[in-house]
Amino acid sequence: MANAVYQNDIKNIDWATHVVAVIDYDGETFLHGERHGHVDSGTAMEIGYAVASRKPVILVHEKGGIVNLMLSESCQAYLTSTDYVTEYNFLNMPKIQYKGGYI
């Protein structure tokens, strides 16, 4: 079962022209005395695979907070609301950089 899920995930990323990833996982990390949310490891793997496959990645991060620099620097666009996904120009794929702290 697990292998079928993995293979289907890879097949769909290979098929896609771009990837939209929500990075609002409920896990937490303590760094420098502060609590920060972090991305699910499976989502991080999908993002990394998409980037390695030269697929543009659009990150959606509604909960805000610090972002891992490997994600923020590899994405085509960093959006702070799912509403912005409907407004994003997927034909021109403008670069929208993350502005904030890094982990």
> What is the reported pLDDT for 2?
93
pLDDT at 30: 64
Residue pLDDT, tens place only, 29-69: 666 676 666 678 889 999 999 999 999 999 999 988 788 89
The answer, yes or no, to whether residue 83 has pLDDT greater than 90, is: yes
DSSP class of residue 21 equals: E
How confident is the prediction for the chain on average, in pLDDT? 90
* pLDDT for res 98: 95
